[in-house]
A = this chain, B = another copy of it.
Amino acid sequence: MVLEMDHVETILGQWKKQRPDLDCSPMGVIGRVGRARQLMTNKLDDVYKRYELSSIEFDILASLRRLGEAVTPTELYQTLMLSSGAMSTRVDGLVKRGLVERQASEIDRRSCLVTLTTEGLALIDKVVEAHVANEHQMLLALTEEEQAQLAMLLKKWLVANE
């Protein structure tokens, strides 16, 4: 059996030596979630950049696509945890590129609905396919069963903490 170490294992060993009184075992989980996230984010960004999208732009377009309906800027910034001002700026950029449109609301004239244009829909459908293929590729180091187990454990933590 091969006993390979990862970066967090090294860090745990260093703490063990310098502060043997501390039980740093939770770093084995939390540190690895952080490090995995960082590496995963880099790989996800590779695909976004191929289509000249930032991570947030992808999230906006993907939200509109998977919800299957137009949503207000307020719903968008609350869902994606951005300020209203930041969302306005992001939507502006997508409007300028012809990927989304703002439609006046018929029931509340203060409000508007952000919708995908034909070009935006075609783009996000293409990007999501590349995105999902990329994600499949990223998980090849784990068996289907391990992936399911990992998802299940993270879900249990999230149900208790989100």
- State how many copies of this chain the complex holds: 2
Determine how close the nearest CB of chain B comes to the CB of A81; give it in whole angstroms: 8
**0 or 1 for each of A136-162: is its CB under 8 Å from B? (1 = yes):** 101101100011111101111111111
Residue A24 is within 8 A (CB to CB) of chain B in the complex: yes
Tell me the residues in window 34-82 of chain A with beta carbons closer than 8 Å to chain B beta carbons: 34-37, 39-41, 44, 65-68
- Complex: how many Å from CA A28 to CA B155? 8
- Complex: how many Å from CA A5 to CA B156? 9
Contact A6/B155 with A29-B147, A67-B14, A147-B26 known, Cβ cut-off 8 Å: yes
**0 or 1 for each of A17-33: is its CB under 8 Å from B? (1 = yes):** 11100111111111011
State whether A146 touches B136 (Cβ < 8 A). Answer: no
Residue A112 is within 8 A (CB to CB) of chain B in the complex: no
State whether B138 touches A30 (Cβ < 8 A). Answer: yes
- Complex: how many Å from CA A33 to CA B150? 9
Residue A106 is within 8 A (CB to CB) of chain B in the complex: no
Instruction: Give residues in A with beta carbon < 8 Å to B.
Output: 4-9, 11, 14-15, 17-19, 22-30, 32-37, 39-41, 44, 65-68, 125, 128-129, 132, 135-136, 138-139, 141-142, 146-151, 153-162
